[in-house]
Amino acid sequence: MQVKSVSKQGTGVQSTAGIDVSQECLDAHVHPQGISLQVPNTPAGIGKLKRFLQKHGVGLIVLEPTGRWHRTVHRNLHDSGMCVALANPYQVRSFARACLQFAKNDKLDAKILAKFAAAMEPAVRPPAPKVMEILGELTRARASALAERTALQNQIHAASYKLIQQNLERLIRHVDDYVEALEQEIEGIIADNPALARRFAILTSIPGVGKATAMTFIANLAELGSISHKAVAKLVGLAPLDWESGKQQGRRAIFGGRADVRHMAYMSALSAAQHNPSLKAFYQRLRDAGKAYKQAAVAVARKLVILANTLIAEDRLWQPQAPKTA
């Protein structure tokens, strides 16, 4: 995935724009001119928005991802040669508070996004290919169904009335069928795409990484193999962050990142700590050194993501002994 930064000096353009996206409308704000526009979130509305942004010489546009509602405008603006960045909503909200902007509505959100673009200059990324959008939607549906199944199983344990238990069991069977259908669809899409099929083969060759983890990595971590080990660990949310001030030495902890990928990496780490020879030895060394169970498991998960990043970058299957380089 190509990423580029936009420099005001490099582009010679001072204007930035923020677009707040909803199902019905697109609210745009151009900074520093302070000009706003609201259009319908339709092809005609996007066309009008594009002309508005071009007229005011906007060099960088920032959107927040909003499920499927932002995808069409993102792709349309990118295809027209505009620089569009997707901002993390948590970062934007923190930026708004730093600007003492506590109120929230569509117009204010667009204004904050425009100021965020000017101050932070977030990296510009092209829209994800259609196949990746589909895979992302399918894997999110699978994760949601699994969460629903867990909730139903918890209800069964708490239920004592037979009718309730029978209906909960029926619902769980229905969810299981749904999950199986989703997994078959995901596997089919991956198998039909040679590049994705190769990634799937590489990932599942790693002891401890199953089909579900490989699917999640492919759909939600497209950067795998194209960024550094430190960057991928931070992107997933498995990089320990310092918590120090003066003489205070706080405990380092992980934070943020892509929750779905991190969860699957952690679950795979529990398996890898038992079945992957090198990671099993690594886990045992940490435990022998006095590290807590969860702390050691997180370290294994980080190693696992870095290993996947290496194998994808080198386009090779896992081997018990890494090949020697000249």
Q: What is the pLDDT of residues 94-132, one digit of tens each?
A: 999 999 999 999 999 999 999 999 999 998 988 989 999
Instruction: Answer yes or no: is 197 within a domain.
Output: no
In a domain, 281, yes or no: yes
**Phi and psi angles of residue 30, each rounded to the nearest 5 degrees, phi first:** -105, 130
Instruction: Say yes or no: 87 and 157 in one domain.
Output: no
CATH code of 160's domain: 1.20.58
pLDDT of residue 244: 66
Q: What is the CATH number of the domain that holds 60?
A: 3.30.420.40
In a domain, 74, yes or no: yes
| pLDDT of amino acid 67 | 76
Question: Under 8 Å CB-to-CB from 29, ≥6 apart: which residues?
Answer: 17, 18, 35, 36, 107, 110, 111, 113, 114
Taking Cα atoms as reference points, which of 151, 234, 231, 138 lies closest to residue 190?
Answer: 138
- DSSP-assigned beta bridge partners for residue 39: 26
Would you say residue 323 lies in a domain?
no
User: What tokens were used for 114?
Assistant: 């425009």
In a domain, 46, yes or no: yes
CA gap 160, 49 in Å, rounded: 58
Quote the tokens at residue 117. 């673009």
- The SS3 call for residue 100 is coil
- C-alpha 311/C-alpha 307 separation (Å) is 6
Q: Are residues 188 and 267 in the same domain?
A: no
| The two structure tokens encoding residue 12 | 């010679």
Amino acid at residue number 66: T
Together in a domain, 24 and 105: yes
Q: Say if residue 67 is in the same domain as residue 136.
A: no
The token duo for 154 is 């918890």
Boundary (domain end) residue, out of 120, 148, 176? 120
Same domain, residue pair 62 and 134: no
Helix axes 211-220, 194-204, angle to 10 degrees: 130
Question: So what's the pLDDT on residue 5?
Answer: 45
| Cβ neighbour number for residue 55 with a 10 Å cutoff | 10
Q: Is residue 326 part of a domain?
A: no
| One domain for residues 104 and 46 | yes
Q: What share of the chain is helix, strand, coil (3-state, %, to 5)?
A: 60, 10, 30
pLDDT at 296: 94
Q: How many domains does the chain have?
A: 3
Q: Is residue 103 a part of any domain in this protein?
A: yes
Shared domain check, 161 and 225: no
Token digits of residue 210:
């199953």
For residue 291, the SS3 value is: coil
> Does 17 lie in the same domain as 78?
yes
Contacts of 170 (CB under 8 A, 6+ apart): none
Tokens 């899409």 appear where? 189
Q: Which helix (H) or strand (E) holds 34?
A: none
**Does residue 145 sit in the same domain as residue 77?**
no
- Based on the fold, state whether residues 285 and 264 are members of the same structural domain: yes
pTM of the predicted protein model:
0.82
Write down the pLDDT at residue 243.
Answer: 65
Among 30, 16, 36, smallest CA distance to 118 is for 16
pLDDT at 66: 84
For residues 114 and 139, state if they share a domain. Answer: no
Residue 52 lies in a domain: yes
* Spatial contact of 155 and 172, defined as CB atoms under 8 Å apart: no
Q: What is the domain extent for residue 309?
A: 212-243+252-314
Q: Give CA 175 to chain center in angstroms.
A: 25
Segment-wise mean pLDDT, segments of 10 residues, the chain, 326 residues: 46 79 95 95 95 94 89 93 93 94 93 96 89 93 95 93 95 97 97 97 95 95 93 91 66 79 94 92 94 93 96 93 65
- Token duo for residue 179: 């999950």
If asked whether residues 72 and 151 sit together in one domain, one would say: no
- Residues 247-301 have pLDDT tens digits of 666 666 777 788 899 999 999 999 999 998 999 999 999 999 999 999 999 999 9
pLDDT at position 68: 83
